[in-house]
Amino acid sequence: MRRVDRMVIAGLFAFFLGLCMQAAEQGERTRPFTPFHYAYTTEQLRAQFSEETMQRAAAALAEIRAVNARGPWSPTWESLDKHQAPEWLRDAKLGVIVNWSLAAVPSWDKKSRKAMYPDAYGSLMYDLESHARYHARLWGDNFQYDDFFPLFTAENYDPEAMAALLQSAGARYVVPLCKHHDGVAWWDSAWTRRSFVQMGPHRDLLTPLVEAVRRRGMKVGLYYTYEEYANVTLGDDGKIYARIWPVQDHKPATLQPLTDSNRRRVSGSIPVRNYFDDYLAPLVKELIDRYDPDGLWMDGEWCATPETLHSRELAAYLYNRAHGRKEVCVNDRFGIDTRNHHGDVFMNEFYTGRMLDHTWEAFRGLSNSFAYNHEDTEASMISPRELVHLFADTISHNGNLNLIIGPDRTGKISELQVERLKALGSWISINAEAVYGSRTLPPYTEGSVCYTRSKDGRFAYAICTRWPGRRLVLHGVRAQAGTEIHLLGVAAPLTWQQNNTHLFITLPTSLQEQSSRPCEYAWVVKIPIGKQ
C-alpha cells in the first residue's frame, strides 16, 4: 500500500474515532461497523501452526533447562535469592515504563476507581457493568475488543524521539510493556500471530525502541504479563476453547466454548494444549534471546505458582545467559504470594510502602491511570512540584522511581505527560550528583528535607522541598571542618556554622527571589561530611 493511501486511511480512522467520542458525549449509539477478522480463523491457525508450535515449545523448554543445568544459577529460591540487584539499577534512580497496548484506543477507566487501569479495558468491558454500559453506548453492542485493531494506527510513533524525550527526562532505564494482558505482542513473535506486526499498524514497535534507547546509553528492561484476558487452548477432547481470565475476580482462567463474540478477543492466538508450557515460557525465552534485556519485569502472576509460570526457570535462564558478561535483574512477581519476598527489585504500586533493606521501585503513572487515559486533564495529573518531591522522597528511602507513560493509539505522548517529564529532567540536570549513584543517609528525611549521600560517603545532600528562607537548620548531618558548603547550581559557597547539635547554613539575599535560584520545586545543599 502506498504511503499516501495509508495516510488517507489513518485520517479516516481518526475522523471516525472523533465521531464516536462525540456520540458518547451526546449519549447516542454509534453507527454500524464491520467486525475485525484476522487473515486466519482460529481453526485455520490450529490446522497450520498448532502441532509445529508445540513441538518447538518442547525444544525451547528443554533448552532453558539445559542452560540452567550448565550455569551457576539454578531455578530454586536458594539460588535465586542470592542474586543481587545490579549496581546500575541502584545507581539509576529513574526508569520509565512505556505502557502501550490495544487499549490505547478506548483509553478509559471509571473515574471513581482509586487507581485507574485503562489498560485493563479488554477485560473490564466484559466484566464490569459500568464498563459494559460505557462500551455499548460508545462503540455499540457487538463491538468486541479486537475490533479496535484497525483504529490502533501508531502513525505518530517515533521511537527515536521517544527515547530522546525519556533521556532528557533523566531516565537511566526504559521498560517497554511489550506484551500486556490483552496478549498483543509489540514484535513479530514466533509463538503467536497476535501482534502489531500482524494486525493494526503492521509494524514492529519493540525493536526500534530498544535500539534507540541503547544508542543513548540507557538500559533496557522488558515488561510482560503472564496471564492474558483471553487466549485459546486445546481441550482434552481435542476441541478449541477460549481461555478466559477475568482480571477483576483474581481467580484462575476458565475454559469456555469458542463463540462468534469471544473469538474476536483472541485474533491471531495459536491454539496449544498448555498455555504456559507451549506458549508463555517459550515467548519469554524469545524475548531474552532476541533482545538480551538488562532486566525482566514480570506481572500478572497472582493466580498461579512459580512452577506453573516457569518464572524461576526463566529468571535463572536470564541470569545464566548474562553471567560473566553483564549485570541483569528481575522483579518480584514470580507467582502466588511472591511479591516483596523474591527478586532483585521489589515493585511498589502508587507508593504503598518503603523498603530500606532491599532495592525497590515506586511505580505509578503521571496521573492515577496506569496508561493513557483520554479523560486526563491538568487537574488529574501529578504536578511538576509534586513529582519532584515524590522523586526526592523515593531516592532518599533507597528506592527508584519508575514512571509509567502511555502513548495514545497513534503513538503520541500527550503534552500533559511531556511537560512533567521535561520538568523532572530539568530539575535532575541541575542536581544530578545528589541523584545518580546516591545512597541513603539516616535519618533519611528531616521536616521538609530529604537526604541522600554520595556513594563514597564524602558528601551529604540535603534536598529542600520547601525553600528554607535565609537560614537552613539541619540536625541530621555534621559538616566536615574547614570545607565549603554549596547550593547545587550556584558557584559561590554558602556561609555556615556548626555546634554540637545543629548545622546552620545561611542562604544569601541574592537567592531569595525564585527567579535567581538555579531550579524550581526543590533545592539541594551539598555538604562535605567525610567518610562516616
Quickly list H helices, 181-310: 207-215, 275, 281-291, 306-309
Tell me the average pLDDT across 13-34.
49
Statement to judge: residues 99 and 144 lie in one domain: yes
Does 226 fall in a domain? yes
Q: Where residue 17 falls among pLDDT bands split at 50, 70, 90?
A: low
Helix (H, G, I), strand (E, B) or coil at 19: helix
pLDDT of 529 strictly over 90 = yes
Closest listed residue to residue 401, CA positions, set 390, 410, 412:
390
Statement to judge: residues 380 and 499 lie in one domain: no
555556615: which residue's cell?
496
Tell me the average pLDDT across 128-138.
95
pLDDT of 189 strictly over 70 = yes
Statement to judge: residues 222 and 361 lie in one domain: yes
According to the model, what pLDDT value does residue 521 have? 98
Q: At what angle do helices 415-431 and 159-168 cross, to 10 degrees?
A: 40
pLDDT of 11 strictly over 70 = no
- Any idea how long the chain is? 532
| Distance, CA of 139 to CA of 145 (rounded, Å) | 10
According to the model, what pLDDT value does residue 26 have? 34
| Distance, CA of 239 to CA of 257 (rounded, Å) | 9
**Picking from 26-30, 54-58, 166-170, 514-518, which range would have the lowest pLDDT averaged per residue?**
26-30
User: Bridge-partner residues for 450, per DSSP?
Assistant: 445, 463
Statement to judge: residues 374 and 339 lie in one domain: yes
Statement to judge: residues 383 and 336 lie in one domain: yes
Statement to judge: residues 83 and 109 lie in one domain: yes
Distances in whole angstroms, Cα of residue 347 to Cα of each of 9, 298, 417? 41, 10, 22
pLDDT tens digits for range 506-517: 999 999 999 999
Residue 488 is part of which domain span? 445-528
According to the model, what pLDDT value does residue 33 have? 81
Distance of CA 117 to the CA centre of its chain: 13
User: Between residues 122 and 8, which one has the greater pLDDT?
Assistant: 122
Question: What CATH number corresponds to the domain at position 164?
Answer: 3.20.20.80
- Say if pTM beats, i.e. exceeds, 0.85: yes
| Distance, CA of 242 to CA of 146 (rounded, Å) | 14
Tell me the average pLDDT across 75-98.
98
Statement to judge: residues 207 and 288 lie in one domain: yes
Question: What CATH number corresponds to the domain at position 496?
Answer: 2.60.40.1180
Domain boundary among 408, 433, 458: 433
pLDDT tens digits for range 312-333: 999 999 999 999 999 999 999 9
Domain boundary among 433, 460, 482: 433
pLDDT of 390 strictly over 50 = yes
Does 19 fall in a domain? no
| Distance, CA of 300 to CA of 426 (rounded, Å) | 35
Q: Where residue 260 falls among pLDDT bands split at 50, 70, 90?
A: confident
Domain boundary among 404, 433, 462: 433
| Distance, CA of 474 to CA of 499 (rounded, Å) | 11
The total of structural domains in the chain comes to: 2
Does 4 fall in a domain? no
482480571: which residue's cell?
247
Does 6 fall in a domain? no
pLDDT tens digits for range 391-412: 999 999 999 999 999 999 999 9
| Distance, CA of 231 to CA of 246 (rounded, Å) | 12
Does 5 fall in a domain? no
Q: What are phi and psi of 381, to 5 degrees?
A: -90, 150
Q: What are phi and psi of 111, to 5 degrees?
A: -65, -25
Which phi-psi region, left, alpha or beta, contains residue 347 (left: φ > 0; alpha: ψ -120 to 50)? beta
Q: Where residue 532 falls among pLDDT bands split at 50, 70, 90?
A: low
Statement to judge: residues 303 and 360 lie in one domain: yes
Statement to judge: residues 275 and 150 lie in one domain: yes
Helix (H, G, I), strand (E, B) or coil at 316: helix
Tell me the pairing of strands 240-244 and 230-234. Answer: antiparallel
pLDDT of 5 strictly over 70 = no
Statement to judge: residues 257 and 226 lie in one domain: yes
DSSP track, 355-383: -TTS-EEEEEESBSBSS--TT--GGGBPP
Statement to judge: residues 472 and 335 lie in one domain: no
**Picking from 43-57, 240-254, 291-305, 412-426, which range would have the lowest pLDDT averaged per residue?**
240-254
Does 521 fall in a domain? yes
Does 206 fall in a domain? yes
Mean pLDDT for all residues in the chain: 93
Does 148 fall in a domain? yes
Tell me the average pLDDT across 178-193.
98
Statement to judge: residues 426 and 481 lie in one domain: no
pLDDT of 283 strictly over 60 = yes
